[in-house]
Amino acid sequence: MQPEFAPRDAPFVKLTVLSKSELAEWCGNATETGRRWVEANGFGAEPTEVLSVPDGSGGIAEVLAGGVSQDPGHDTRFHLASVLRRLPAGNYRLANKLSQQDRDEAALASLFAQYWPSTRRNGRSHSALLVAPEGTDCEKLLAIAEGEFLVRDMVNAPASEMTPGCLEKVFRRIAEANSADLRVVKGKELAVECPMTHAVGRSSEHEPRLLELNWGTSGPLVSLAGKGVCFDTGGLNMKSGRAMALMKKDMAGAAVVASLCSVIMKLKLPVRFRALIPVAENSVSERSVRPGDVLVSKSGVRVEITNTDAEGRLLLADTLTLAEERESDLLVSFGTLTGAARTALGPEIVPFYAVNNRLAGLLEEAGGRVRDPLWRMPLWQPYRGMLESDVADIKNSSSTAFAGSITAALFLNHFVRRRESFAHFDIYGWQASAAPGRPKGGCGQAGRAVLEAITEFLL
Ligand code: BES
Ligand code: ZN
Ligand code: ZN
């Protein structure tokens, strides 16, 4: 499914989003018929209302839609997406006077509005399309929306489809479409290159693997890591049915990296990237990692397994070690690492960790600007003690229930030496309840903010 804008040279209907006071103004300038139509329909510019105003010949003269509160802090994100979902098929042109930033947001909202999960896509064609507002970078927004659709499709796919082999295929397709280079490591080689991914993944009939996608010949090097756990049962520390229900989405980090890579390649950003995706299923079998096992990481650090459900950090740790073999200008990891991140910030705000204040500032600013909300959390060194092990160098989960997302980030930082260029995102990858432009289900998080920050931090 390809998102699109309305063609510039086709007929269109004028669309105006109005607040209540703007509606009064509109009525003041409207024809008698228009004013009476608004009244007769009881249109009050409520955020959920849309009204087609007829022309004299049975067609639509223009469309009015209710606006949203201008209160500071009120979330007006992508409101236009829900307006477009309510409109009949056709081409619409936004008549509002908007700032460039709001025009970009409206344009992106119009693309996000076109998503349907594959199971509900049958026979649907794009309905209401927006003419790209003046000054928007269409190519960039289309690439971003395609990336977002990719994440949603990948995360929404059931684990019976999105197996480690299927995840590999997705990356192969992306690599081939952009003449990039994909390396796949499995079996004995994986046990050497990513021993902890191998250890977690050997529990499943679906072979674990490492995917490495390289692209670009010049420019700063961006290293990306994404947790690719195709299903997380918790392993022998098995999750409850409730906690396990959504665990097909435990590869959302990998999906965000896939989309980020494809956007960077489509836009031909002047950077090089190296994406490392550890892929495994965390299953229950006689080959599962056991609580009390000690794993030797790629870097030689001995890790005591105190909870087999804290598997994501094991996968990412080896990947980060591997990433550090080359000197990158920016190193970013994404993973659905902890439930604690949701307890702290809920499903929509992504906690991130970075020691570099400039990088953190750019990320926060970009996240706010492009409506990909992030919140910086502290890498609070005193909590590092919660990961002290009696039998190994570090343990994979804290003995307390406190600060779970922070301790996961501290664990990862133990495997990173050049921390000044490192940022980690503890994402959720799931829209818990439908919002404008974001139906319930898989969703991209942090990728759009990182895309902006890459440009600002490195170029
Ligand atoms: N994939 C989960 C984290 C998760 C849970 C993400 C719910 C989104 C929603 C991860 O592998 C996990 O199970 N983490 C444990 C860590 C704990 C054992 C230290 C958790 O959060 O409970
Ligand atoms: Zn887990
Ligand atoms: Zn997990």
The C-alpha atoms of residue 89 and residue 87 are separated, in whole angstroms, by 7
245-259 pLDDT, tens digit each: 999 999 999 999 999
299 with 418, same domain: the answer is yes
92 with 221, same domain: the answer is no
Instruction: Point out the ligand nearest to the CA of residue 398.
Output: 1
Q: Assess whether pLDDT exceeds 80 at residue 68.
A: no
Ligand 1 in contact with 426 (CB < 6 A)? no
Which pLDDT score, from 0 to 100, does residue 126 have?
67
Q: Using the mean position of ligand 3's atoms as its centre, give its distance from the Cα of residue 357 in Å.
A: 28
Q: Is residue 103 in a domain?
A: yes
Ligand 1 in contact with 164 (CB < 6 A)? no
Quick one: which atom of ligand 1 is closest to the CA of 428? 8
Q: Is residue 400 in a domain?
A: yes
The C-alpha atoms of residue 5 and residue 128 are separated, in whole angstroms, by 9
Which pLDDT score, from 0 to 100, does residue 260 have?
98
Q: How confident is the model at residue 71 (pLDDT cuts 50, 70, 90)?
A: low
121 with 185, same domain: the answer is no
Are 187 and 239 in contact by the 8 Å Cβ rule? The answer is no
Q: Is residue 212 in a domain?
A: yes
Which pLDDT score, from 0 to 100, does residue 127 have?
84
Pocket test for ligand 1, best of 309, 410, 411 (most atoms within 8 A of CB): 309
Closest residue to atom 22 of ligand 1, CA basis: 339
Domain that holds residue 66: 13-136
Pocket test for ligand 1, best of 313, 337, 443 (most atoms within 8 A of CB): 337
Quick one: which atom of ligand 1 is closest to the CA of 336? 6
Q: Is residue 219 in a domain?
A: yes
The C-alpha atoms of residue 279 and residue 393 are separated, in whole angstroms, by 25
- Other CB atoms within a 10 A radius of the CB of residue 97 amount to 7
Quick one: which atom of ligand 1 is closest to the CA of 404? 19
160 with 124, same domain: the answer is no
96 with 33, same domain: the answer is yes
Ligand 1 in contact with 309 (CB < 6 A)? yes
Which spans in 11-137 are helix H? 20-29, 32-40, 79-86, 100-112
Q: How confident is the model at residue 60 (pLDDT cuts 50, 70, 90)?
A: very high
User: Domain boundary residue among 95, 111, 136?
Assistant: 136
248 with 312, same domain: the answer is yes
For residue 47, which amino acid is it? Answer: P
387 with 261, same domain: the answer is yes
pTM of the model: 0.98
Ligand 1 in contact with 253 (CB < 6 A)? no
User: Domain boundary residue among 136, 158, 180?
Assistant: 136
Q: Using the mean position of ligand 3's atoms as its centre, give its distance from the Cα of residue 83 in Å.
A: 36
The C-alpha atoms of residue 70 and residue 216 are separated, in whole angstroms, by 43
Which pLDDT score, from 0 to 100, does residue 72 have?
63
Angle at 51 between CA 45 and CA 52, to 5 degrees: 150
The C-alpha atoms of residue 258 and residue 429 are separated, in whole angstroms, by 13
Quick one: which atom of ligand 1 is closest to the CA of 243? 7
195-245 pLDDT, tens digit each: 999 999 999 999 999 999 999 999 999 999 999 999 999 999 999 999 999
Q: Is residue 28 in a domain?
A: yes
For the record, the structure tokens of 226 come out as 């994404």
For residue 302, which amino acid is it? Answer: R
The C-alpha atoms of residue 125 and residue 114 are separated, in whole angstroms, by 9
31 contact partners, CB below 8 Å, separation of at least 6: none
Instruction: Point out the ligand nearest to the CA of residue 337.
Output: 1
Q: Is residue 2 in a domain?
A: no
Q: Assess whether pLDDT exceeds 90 at residue 67.
A: no
For the record, the structure tokens of 259 come out as 């989309």
Q: Assess whether pLDDT exceeds 70 at residue 73.
A: no
78 with 151, same domain: the answer is no
Establish whether 313 is a catalytic residue.
yes
DSSP 118: G
Question: Which of 344, 354, 351 lies closest to 445 in space, CA to CA?
Answer: 351
Burial category of 452 from C-beta neighbours within 10 Å (exposed 0-12, middle 13-18, buried 19 and up)? middle
109 with 49, same domain: the answer is yes
Q: Is residue 5 in a domain?
A: no
Q: Using the mean position of ligand 2's atoms as its centre, give its distance from the Cα of residue 234 in Å.
A: 5
Number of domains in the chain: 2
Ligand 1 in contact with 281 (CB < 6 A)? no
377 with 324, same domain: the answer is yes
Q: Is residue 66 in a domain?
A: yes
- CATH number for the domain spanning 58: value is 3.40.220.10
**What is the H or E stretch that residue 193 is in?**
helix 187-193
Are 271 and 182 in contact by the 8 Å Cβ rule? The answer is no
Instruction: Point out the ligand nearest to the CA of residue 280.
Output: 3
The C-alpha atoms of residue 83 and residue 47 are separated, in whole angstroms, by 9
For the record, the structure tokens of 58 come out as 């049975």
3-state helix, strand, coil in the chain (%, to 5): 40, 20, 40
155 contact partners, CB below 8 Å, separation of at least 6: 248, 249, 251, 252, 255, 429, 430, 441, 442, 443
- CATH number for the domain spanning 218: value is 3.40.630.10
87 with 168, same domain: the answer is no
Q: Which residue has the tokens 């896939």?
A: 258
Task: Give the start-end residues of each E strand in 153-271.
Answer: 181-185, 209-215, 221-226, 228-232
User: Domain boundary residue among 72, 103, 136?
Assistant: 136
196 with 310, same domain: the answer is yes
Q: Which residue has the tokens 């003041």?
A: 28
**What is the H or E stretch that residue 272 is in?**
strand 272-282
